[in-house]
């Protein structure tokens, strides 16, 4: 069986990827396995595939993003899709066009895949109900960011060989973090043991009912963990509204070597980016090539997004791309 034949079989029985919620461990494993093959492809000189040849992919970003948008753009292009980027904050929304009108307008141009980021929780799900193509959630408010959780899982799995049984600590602003929610759901589904660490004001009510252990003391929370996942804390939330100041936050919740020493000796550090160096993470830790997976996460991001695009495109109704000849 050739590689191309293998890739034609459906691996992911959904039309959209709106969140990790609702995915089974086998769905997640299938995506990670497919992503593994793209990691290898991306390390070749010829990185170009053709599973999305003829397909149109639109990156519809209502919220500014550099790394997620470029990662999706590169992923689509490496699979042969035509990719269009739209940053909507700068165009029609300012003219009063409604969110749904924007989506319906784009839909009329027959895209096959739309990748959406929006500042409101639930906005991507809302739009997915109004379009006829596949939708990928690239982050909606404080709700979910499924491809981030998948790329984190891929990064961990490649370094630790497994997800099951690992102790993972997610640290920082859990309340406002879609990355935290998607990661909690994914890691729990895959049998990891998840802790969340942060000040009480940055914890959502009832978080423990999601199946995590809650710690307010970072040193205690890091004891015996395999993975330390840091979250970004938006600077405006540190001006006395949620926590008193940046320096107080860093003192108690910034990751430095002295706190990291409480984790397992081989514990690895992750961060979804962009980092606030000196606020939630010490520069030396972030740049430590033995401990930090931060650059690897970016690499895995492209592979995971290629896997998601590939998997969803196999379920698209029109067969034109398949007829394009990958025999």
Partner 1 sequence: MSRTAFTNARLIDPASGFDQPGGLLVENGLIADLGPHLFNDGLPDGAEAVDCRGRVLAPGLIDCRVFTGEPGAEHRETLALASKAAAAGGVTTMIVMPNTDPVIDDVALVDFIERRARDTAIVNVHTMAALTKGLHGEQMTEFGLLLEAGAVGFTDGVKSVANAQVMRRILSYAAHLGALVVQHAEEPALATGVMNESELAGRLGLAGIPAVAETIMIERDLQLLELTGGRYHVSQISCEASVEIVRRAKTRGLPVTCGVSAAHLQLNENDVQSYRTFFKLSPPLRSEQDRLALVAGLADGTIDVVVSSHDPQDPEVKRRPFAEANFGAIGLETLLPAGLALVHNGDLPLGRLLAALTCIPSDLLGLGRGRLVTGLPADLVLIDTDVPWKLEPASLKSISKNTPFEDRLFQGRALRTMVGGQTVYVQGEER
* Residue list 81-120, contact with partner 1 (CB under 8 A): 98-100, 118, 120
Q: Rounded CA gap, 50 and 52, in Å?
A: 5
Taking CB under 8 A as the binding criterion, the range among 28-36, 43-51, 122-130, 270-278 that sits at the site for partner 1 is 122-130
Residues binding partner 1: number (CB under 8 A): 24
CA distances (Å), 274 to each of 5, 67, 199, in order?
38, 8, 21
Min separation Cβ 309 and partner 1, Å: 24
Q: What gap in Å lies between CA 172 and CA 232, rounded to an integer? A: 7
Integer Rg of the chain from CA: 20
DSSP annotation of 180? H
Identify which of residues 207 and 312 has a Cβ nearer to partner 1 in the complex: 207
Give yes or no for residue 207 binding partner 1 (CB under 8 A): yes
- Asked if 197 and 175 touch (Cβ cutoff 8 Å), the reply is no
Task: Pick the closer one to partner 1 by CB: 180 or 306.
Answer: 180
Pick 181 or 271: Cβ nearer partner 1? 181
- The answer to whether 169 touches 263, Cβ cutoff 8 Å, is yes
Supply the minimum distance, in Å, between the C-beta of residue 12 and partner 1. Answer: 22
63 binds partner 1 (CB under 8 A): no
Lookup: tokens for 243: 């926590």
Q: Could you say whether residue 173 binds partner 1 (CB under 8 A)? A: no
Residue 210 interacts with partner 1 (CB under 8 A): yes or no = yes
Candidate residues 55, 181, 193, 305; the one interacting with partner 1 per rule CB under 8 A: 181
What's the rounded Cα separation, in Å, for the pair 276 and 232?
Answer: 7
Give yes or no for residue 138 binding partner 1 (CB under 8 A): no
Listing DSSP states for 224-267 in one string gives T-SEEEE----GGGGTTTSSS-HHHHHHHH-B-HHHHTTS-TT-
Q: Nearer to partner 1 by C-beta: 64 or 261?
A: 64
Residues of the shown chain interacting with partner 1 in the complex, contacts defined by CB under 8 A = 21, 98-100, 118, 120-123, 125-126, 140-144, 178, 181, 204-207, 209-210
């Amino acid at each position: 069986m050739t590689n191309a034949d293998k890739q034609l079989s459906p691996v992911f029985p959904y039309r959209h990827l709106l969140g990790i919620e609702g995915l089974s461990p086998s769905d997640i494993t299938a995506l990670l396995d497919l992503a593994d093959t793209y990691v290898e492809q991306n390390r070749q000189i010829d990185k170009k595939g053709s599973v999305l040849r003829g397909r149109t992919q639109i990156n519809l970003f209502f919220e500014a993003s550099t790394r997620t948008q470029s990662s999706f753009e590169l992923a689509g292009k490496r699979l042969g899709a035509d990719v269009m980027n739209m940053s909507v904050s700068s165009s029609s929304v300012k003219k009063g066009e409604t969110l749904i009108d924007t989506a319906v307008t784009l839909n009329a141009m027959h895209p096959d895949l739309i990748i959406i980021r929006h500042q409101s929780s639930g906005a991507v799900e809302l739009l997915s109900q109004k379009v006829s193509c596949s939708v990928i959630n690239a982050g909606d408010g404080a709700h979910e960011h499924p491809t981030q959780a998948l790329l984190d899982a891929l990064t961990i799995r490649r370094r630790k060989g497994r997800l099951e049984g690992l102790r993972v600590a997610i640290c920082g602003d859990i309340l406002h973090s879609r990355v935290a929610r998607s990661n909690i759901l994914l890691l729990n589904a895959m049998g990891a043991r998840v802790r969340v660490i942060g000040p009480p004001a940055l914890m959502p009510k009832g978080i423990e009912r999601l199946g995590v252990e809650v710690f307010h003391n970072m040193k205690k929370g890091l004891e015996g963990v395999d993975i330390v996942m840091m979250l970004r804390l938006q600077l405006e939330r540190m001006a006395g509204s949620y926590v008193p100041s940046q320096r107080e936050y860093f003192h108690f919740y910034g990751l430095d070597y002295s706190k990291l020493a409480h984790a397992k000796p081989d514990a690895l550090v992750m961060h979804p980016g962009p980092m606030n160096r000196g606020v939630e993470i010490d520069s030396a830790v972030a740049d430590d090539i033995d401990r930090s997976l931060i650059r690897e996460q970016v690499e895995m991001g492209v592979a995971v997004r290629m896997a998601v695009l590939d998997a969803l495109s196999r379920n698209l109704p029109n067969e034109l791309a398949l007829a394009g000849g990958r025999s």
